[in-house]
Amino acid sequence: MRVKLAAGNWKMNGLAADLAEIDALAAAHPAPRSEVLICPPATLISLMAARAAGGPVKVGAQCCHPAESGAHTGDLSAAMLADAGASYVIVGHSERRADHGEGDDDVRAQARAALAAGLRVIVCVGETEAQRDASNTLDIISGQLAGSVPDLVTGDNLVIAYEPVWAIGTGRTPTTDQIGEVHDFIRARLEARFGAGVGRSVRILYGGSVKPGNATEIFAVSNVDGALVGGASLKATDFGAIIAALDEA
Ligand code: 13P
């Protein structure tokens, strides 16, 4: 059975004072059935890891550089993130793809570096609205999976997040049928590429305007193993409600 995963992506939000949300989350959900992860900005990783130690909340990063070290001003290697206390890293988020021009080859190299540093990777895929309108969703997802996911993965160290670009931060979500279609498709692609054992073990998260009010219906969809949550992960009350919905799914 796949352990469900509630992952929060704080994006470029959060100062040290906001670590109180982690205390509140841990106090309200001391022993969730689901795995709980927060990916704060890199400035907070070590502080959050220290604060969350021994509790239910794991800490992750939002991106990493593909190189182990070197002359890359402003960047962070996977080993640095692991050293700071991260156990996961998100790669290929659509905001990285758009803001920093990261393509599938970059994402795959970052994922490889993360795995080599002992991190689990959450590889993001998702279509734009124009691509969905042109009925290209599954082709886009297929290409991103083939290009962004490295070969040497296990059922444990790879997570896929399906995040339709048009659903991120907009309050709009696909229908549950649309989510199910893409998640079933991703599952089939993973099984075809990695075999049934690995393919059935990889968690597939949905991301894009997940809120307490829509979490239950999204978590009832086949092959939805959790969520990657942006805005609603910033407050312990909202994220806690999403964790509770996932625990009950
Ligand atoms: P929102 O939940 O704010 O739509 O963001 C989703 C997301 O991009 C998570 O990575």
Render each residue's pLDDT in the chain as its tens digit; 249 residues. Answer: 899 999 999 999 999 999 999 999 999 999 999 999 999 999 999 999 999 999 999 999 999 999 999 999 999 999 999 999 999 999 999 999 999 999 999 999 999 999 999 999 999 999 999 999 999 999 999 999 999 999 999 999 999 999 999 999 999 999 999 999 999 999 999 999 999 999 999 999 999 999 999 999 999 999 999 999 999 999 999 999 999 999 999
pLDDT at 1: 82
Nearest CA to ligand 1 atom 9: 230
d(CA 177, CA 217): 11
pLDDT at 227: 98
What residues have CB less than 8 Å from 212, skipping those under 6 apart?
232, 238, 241, 242, 245
Cβ atoms of 230 and 12 closer than 8 Å: no
Q: What residue ranges in the chain does DSSP mark as E strands?
A: 5-9, 35-39, 57-61, 88-91, 120-125, 158-162, 203-207, 226-229
Helix (H/G/I), strand (E/B), else coil: 160: strand
- 83: Cα separation from own chain's centroid: 20
- 14: Cα separation from own chain's centroid: 18
Closest ligand 1 atom to the C-alpha of 233? 2
What residues have CB less than 8 Å from 174, skipping those under 6 apart?
164, 167, 182, 208
Closest ligand 1 atom to the C-alpha of 11? 10
pTM for the model: 0.97
d(CA 47, CA 65): 21
pLDDT at 89: 98
Structure token pair of residue 137: 């969703």
Structure token pair of residue 133: 């309108």
Pocket of ligand 1 (CB under 6 A): 9, 93, 163, 168-169, 207-210, 228-232
| Amino acid present at 187 | R
Instruction: Specify the CATH number for the domain of residue 225.
Output: 3.20.20.70
CB-count burial class (<10 Å; 0-12, 13-18, 19+) for 6: buried
pLDDT at 118: 98
**Which of 89, 229, 235 for a ligand 1 pocket mutation test, highest count of atoms within 8 Å of Cβ?**
229
Parent domain of 115: 5-248
- Domains identified in the chain, total number: 1
pLDDT at 218: 98
- Cα separations (Å) of 136 from 15, 101, 174? 39, 21, 15
Length of the chain: 249
Q: Residue 90: phi, psi to the nearest 5? A: -80, 135
Q: For residue 232, how many C-alpha atoms fall within 13 Å in the half-sphere facing its CB?
A: 24
